[in-house]
């Protein structure tokens, strides 16, 4: 049975590209384009992994969603994707103890996401069947 990945991003092009790649890699993909849709998807089915955009409706919606996912089930790996560095030059590329305590993500990837990097992170975070 394939792993289920929830992808949350307010950009339809990003959702489409993510769905295409993840499906080609053999995953069952669920998508949401808002915090509200993501909450509904989480109630409907527990994902094996979540890929969450940092800036959805609000600049911190991704942080909020990461907290909700980890509160629901701390074992669900979360990859946070962000274009913040592109827009602000602030680096969100390391998860030290202090950052991990409040970010609640298992990995952070910069947009545009390199799909080879995404595949490597997923392999690290999901147990092999």
* pLDDT tens per residue across span 52-66: 998 888 777 898 999
Cα–Cα distances (Å) from 2 to 29, 114, 115, 129, in that order, read 10, 22, 19, 9
* pLDDT tens per residue across span 9-38: 999 999 999 999 999 999 999 999 999 999
Strand ordering across the sheet containing 107-110: 28-32, 4-8, 49-53, 78-82, 107-110
Is the confidence at residue 121, as pLDDT, over 50?
A: yes
- Work out the mean pLDDT of the chain and round it to a whole number: 87
Give the start-to-end residue ranges of the domains of the chain.
Answer: 4-10+24-125
SS3 label, residue 25: coil
Residues 6+ apart with CB under 8 A from 128: none
Choice between 127 and 111, residue whose per-residue pLDDT is larger: 111
pTM for the predicted model, two decimal places: 0.88
Q: Which CATH superfamily is domain 4-10+24-125 in?
A: Response regulator (3.40.50.2300)
């Amino acid at each position: 049975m394939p792993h289920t990945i929830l992808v949350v991003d307010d950009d339809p092009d990003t959702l489409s590209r993510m769905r295409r790649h993840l499906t080609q890699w053999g995953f069952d993909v669920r998508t949401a384009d808002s915090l509200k849709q993501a909450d509904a998807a989480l109630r409907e089915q527990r994902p094996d992994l979540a890929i969450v955009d940092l800036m959805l409706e609000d600049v911190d919606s991704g942080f909020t969603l990461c907290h909700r996912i980890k509160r629901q089930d701390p074992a669900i790996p979360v990859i946070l994707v962000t274009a913040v560095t592109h827009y602000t030059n602030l680096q969100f590329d390391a998860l030290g103890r202090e950052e991990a305590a409040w970010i609640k993500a298992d990995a952070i990837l910069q947009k545009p996401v390199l799909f080879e990097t995404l595949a490597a992170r997923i392999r690290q975070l999901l147990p092999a069947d």
